Amino acid sequence: MITVVGIGADGWDGLSAGARRALEGAEVLMGSVRQLGLVPASAADRVTWPSPLLPALPELIERYADREVCVLASGDPMFYGIGSTLVRLLGAARVRVVPHLSSLSLACARLGWAVEQVDVISLVGRPLAALNAAVLPGRRVLVLGAGRDAPADVAGLVAGLGYGPSPITVLSDLGAASERVQTGTAARWADTVASALNVIAVECVAGPGAEPLARVPGLPDAAFEHDGQLTKREVRAVTLSRLAPLPGELLWDVGAGAGSIAIEWMRGHPSCAAVAVESRAGRATAIRRNADRLGVPSLRVVEGRAPAALEGLPVPDAVFVGGGATVPGMLETCWAALRPGGRLVVNAVTVESESVVAQWYGRLGGDLVRLAVQRASPVGGFTGWRAAMPVTVWSITREDVP
């Protein structure tokens, strides 16, 4: 059993009696240099976290398996903390957690914000682009900073999205005697921050140049950088409705083009993941830029030709084939990869790909829809309709067949 004790910036004085007993009874104390410095000297061996930590953690835990180990964590160990990592590694039965107040709770208490109405983004070990999708009119966002430059970086990103008037509050060293609060706006943020332990609170106020992007499927086509290889807005919305993303699920976007399906899948819920498979290097690079700009920088991009490029990928909950349905073995590979309950959606725009889809539909069933979209455009001094290429959408769930 490993005990994980949360500790705040107020150190030993802020710990509960139970937390102190756990620390006093430990034979081995593990934590960062800063965390270990908050605990009085004792007979326990002190182990400072190596860098990088995650690859070394299993061996480190195994080395002290026969001793009473206590791990220090900042605030609540289960809120973006080492507690979650240890439970994932060892199982809940082998980890005892003694939580402290999280930085989220402390920040909301200082600001008078309702915790359940706040979006939280951590920049600790994550790119700044993760914040892009959270900046929406009227939303309150708490950003867990990663260093003294984080407030300026956040302000620059928020202002760059057209939300310059947004009030920003930086709370440093929450709970410590050195706690400090600084305020400003995204457009005019110029303060320096003395502590790397900061939480940045943003009240999102749209300026004249802001272009809010909804979290539901069907972003404007102009939201994506593309060379024409893009699942268009209306078809994209229908396609994602058939893929039916659920929290925590994984999508393969095969023949990803601009990556629009994978990106909108991930924007649907923070825990959704996706792999975009694209054979052209230029398009793969554009997918990465699109993912960053639209707030899902963790999208995995695999550059290669499917179906060979699909080998070794984690098992998907859904697969979208936006291009390459006629490639030998493509649909066979995608169908075989799905777990029970998984969804396969194939879009076809050519006679040849429609023929392949029709054969699969005839053999396995599912749902077959043909979409025809027309857009109004000038015809001389009048307005007429211009038809886009029709798209045939075949969708099926793995449980639909024996």
Residue 209 domain-assigned? no
**What would the mean pLDDT of 193-204 be, rounded to a whole number?**
93
With a cut of 60, say whether residue 402 has pLDDT above it: no
Residues of the chain with pLDDT > 70, as a percent, come to: 99
Do 254 and 393 lie in one domain? The reply is yes
Confidence of residue 22 (pLDDT cuts 50, 70, 90): very high
Please write the tens of the pLDDT for every residue from 156-168: 999 999 999 999 9
Question: Which of 46, 66, 101 is the endpoint of a domain?
Answer: 101
Structure pTM? 0.91
Q: Which domain holds residue 391?
A: 221-400
Do 182 and 242 lie in one domain? The reply is no
Confidence of residue 337 (pLDDT cuts 50, 70, 90): very high
Domain count, the chain: 3
With a cut of 70, say whether residue 25 has pLDDT above it: yes
Do 299 and 226 lie in one domain? The reply is yes
**What would the mean pLDDT of 272-292 be, rounded to a whole number?**
97
Please write the tens of the pLDDT for every residue from 222-245: 999 999 889 999 999 999 999 999
Do 261 and 392 lie in one domain? The reply is yes
- What pLDDT does residue 206 have? 97
Confidence of residue 39 (pLDDT cuts 50, 70, 90): very high
With a cut of 60, say whether residue 391 has pLDDT above it: yes
With a cut of 70, say whether residue 374 has pLDDT above it: yes
Please write the tens of the pLDDT for every residue from 74-85: 999 999 999 999
With a cut of 60, say whether residue 401 has pLDDT above it: no
Indicate the average pLDDT of the chain: 95
- What pLDDT does residue 192 have? 85
- What pLDDT does residue 400 have? 52
Determine the Cα–Cα distance for residues 59 and 37; give it in Å rounded to an integer.
24
Do 139 and 236 lie in one domain? The reply is no
Do 272 and 369 lie in one domain? The reply is yes
Do 190 and 279 lie in one domain? The reply is no
With a cut of 90, say whether residue 209 has pLDDT above it: no
Residue 212 domain-assigned? no
Residue 81 domain-assigned? yes
**The domain spanning residue 15 has which CATH number?**
3.40.1010.10
Residue 215 domain-assigned? no
With a cut of 90, say whether residue 143 has pLDDT above it: yes
Question: Which of 101, 130, 147 is the endpoint of a domain?
Answer: 101
Please write the tens of the pLDDT for every residue from 93-120: 999 999 999 999 999 999 999 999 999 9
- What pLDDT does residue 150 have? 95
- What pLDDT does residue 190 have? 84
Do 118 and 94 lie in one domain? The reply is no
**What would the mean pLDDT of 330-344 be, rounded to a whole number?**
96
**The domain spanning residue 250 has which CATH number?**
3.40.50.150
Question: Which of 101, 117, 132 is the endpoint of a domain?
Answer: 101
**The domain spanning residue 126 has which CATH number?**
3.30.950.10
Going by C-alpha positions, the residue among 179, 181, 167, 172 that lies closest to residue 199 is: 172
Do 326 and 380 lie in one domain? The reply is yes
Do 128 and 275 lie in one domain? The reply is no
- What pLDDT does residue 89 have? 94
Do 86 and 112 lie in one domain? The reply is no
Residue 95 domain-assigned? yes
**What would the mean pLDDT of 66-80 be, rounded to a whole number?**
95
